[in-house]
Structure 1
Amino acid sequence: MQPSARKTWKQNPDAVRGDILRVAISVFSESGLKGGRIEEIVALTKTSKRMIYYYFGDKEGLYRAALEAAYGRIREAESQLDLAGVEPVMALARLVRFTFDHHRENTDLVRLVMIENVHRAAHLSDSEVIRSVNAGAISDLENLVKRGIAAGAFRADLDAMMLHWQISAQCFFNVSNRPTFSALYGDALFRDPEQERLREEVVRTILGYARA
């Protein structure tokens, strides 16, 4: 490690760790766990291989931390939506629009999830952090569903987990299957105006599914 890099680490280790994770998310989402190389991550950061192992233990530890960071970002952003302070139907529409846009703008998360599905969620299952932050998301959605049912806005048998599945399925597919969909049918649907139309169609679909 160069003297300047060592000084930066000592002065702001959180910034160094965050920089490593930022690059690791990008590298692993592009190349997967096996294809992603520590040497590439080192070259794109201001640290050394020794420091990466110091923070994360090994390559799998860094991959797991990258997964946790990617999930943490979407859940942190969700927490800023103030859904509890909004009428239930409007709150659900806000959540769907957010999820659609976040997936589209943060494709690294989608690719990491696709890779983790190939690994049958082996690393995700080992992470208490990911389970915790996602449990919080379901809890918030359960509260929203309860409010909507109590207000007569949502159907009485609406299930929060199924609702989460419906939202995730449509917003995730829009990113995960873009290459194959575009190859088969062209990419017109993925241009900005059509994406905005599609987002509102997803909102209407989810609201139609949830409403009383």
Structure 2
Amino acid sequence: MSESGSEVRKAARKAPGRQQDPEGTRQNIIEVASQEFALNGLSGARIDEIAAKTRSSKRMIYYYFGDKDGLYLSALESAYAQVREGEAELDIAGLTPIEGLKRLVEFTFVHHHQHEDFIRMVMIENIHHGQYLERSSVIGDLNVTAIAQIRDLYERGLAEGLFRPGLDPLEIHWQISALCFFNVSNRATFSRLFARDFGAADMQERLKRNTVEMVLRYVVKAEALTE
């Protein structure tokens, strides 16, 4: 980055609206960048293109994020924060263990379906072997809370004699994520290969019900499911 911080701040002062809402500007950059990274990958995304689609400039992007890698990491953190915020709003603690698990699976399925950019960014990060996740001081804490939520739910289910003993909350999270992630990541190929529209509303509703049932049958005791 060749421009100094003072030069960037001067540019910001000249731009109407940016000075009054720096957080709004920053969030706008992240939203546009997320779309570009999801579409083109880290190497294919261009700062020029991102700047052209925001109410900002290249200099402002560098000022907020340092470089393209910094912007990518911020977009990744924002994507994970969004899904964890949604999980926190479910009020699972106020539901029975079985209903809480069902609500969590339904939320994850619908969230991933509605946020395809999140799935694509996770796929891109896996291509990079998770190296950018390692640099984040935020994402680790976010995912600790996700596992803690499942652990609390699972322990309540065990205490009430509803859930199978010996399961790992992290592995429960893995199974839920795997089913809901595949629904987005492989939808296009499955639709082409088998000549069926897996993105159709009726198919998505059916797949969501099936996903909930599979997770419940994995976690919940058979006798508790029939009660």
TM-score bucket (shorter structure): over 0.9
| Amino acid corresponding to residue 102 of structure 1 in structure 2 | H
The residue number in structure 1 matching 2:211 is 202
Which structure 1 residue ranges, 5 or more long, are not aligned? none
Q: 1:91 aligns with which of 100, 114, 118?
A: 100
Larger Cα Rg: Structure 1 or Structure 2? 2
The residue number in structure 2 matching 1:24 is 33
| Runs of 4+ more than 3 Å apart | 1-5
1:181: how far off? Answer: 1.1
Closer, same or farther in 2 for the Cα pair 1:3/1:209, shift >3 Å? Answer: closer
Deviations 1:177-210 (A, max 9, x none): 1121112112333210111011001100000000
Give the Cα–Cα distance (whole angstroms) in 1 for the partners of residues 64 and 148 of structure 2.
31
Aligned ranges 1:170-185 → 2 under 5 Å: 170-185=179-194
RMSD across aligned C-alpha pairs, in angstroms? 1.4
The residue number in structure 2 matching 1:115 is 124
Aligned residue pairs, count: 212
Closer, same or farther in 2 for the Cα pair 1:193/1:4, shift >3 Å? Answer: farther
Deviates most, 55-64 or 174-183: 174-183
Q: 2:61 aligns with which of 52, 62, 66?
A: 52
Aligned ranges 1:1-212 → 2 under 5 Å: 6-212=15-221
1:4: how far off? Answer: 8.6
Q: What TM-score, normalized by structure 2, do the two folds share?
A: 0.90
Is the contact made by 1:5 and 1:46 (CA closer than 8 Å) also made in structure 2? no
Q: What TM-score, normalized by structure 1, do the two folds share?
A: 0.96
Over the matched positions of the two proteins, sequence identity in percent amounts to 48
Residue 128 of structure 1 aligns to a residue whose secondary structure is: coil
Is the contact made by 1:154 and 1:211 (CA closer than 8 Å) also made in structure 2? yes
Deviations 1:24-81 (A, max 9, x none): 1100000010000000100000011111011101000000000000111000111100
1:5: how far off? Answer: 7.0
Give the Cα–Cα distance (whole angstroms) in 2 for the partners of residues 5 and 195 of structure 1.
48
1:3: how far off? Answer: 7.8
Residue 55 of structure 2 aligns to a residue whose secondary structure is: coil
| Amino acid corresponding to residue 125 of structure 2 in structure 1 | E
Give the Cα–Cα distance (whole angstroms) in 2 for the partners of residues 187 and 20 of structure 1.
37
Closer, same or farther in 2 for the Cα pair 1:161/1:68, shift >3 Å? Answer: same
| Amino acid corresponding to residue 139 of structure 2 in structure 1 | I
Residue 18 of structure 2 aligns to a residue whose secondary structure is: helix
Deviates most, 179-188 or 47-56: 179-188
Closer, same or farther in 2 for the Cα pair 1:166/1:3, shift >3 Å? Answer: closer
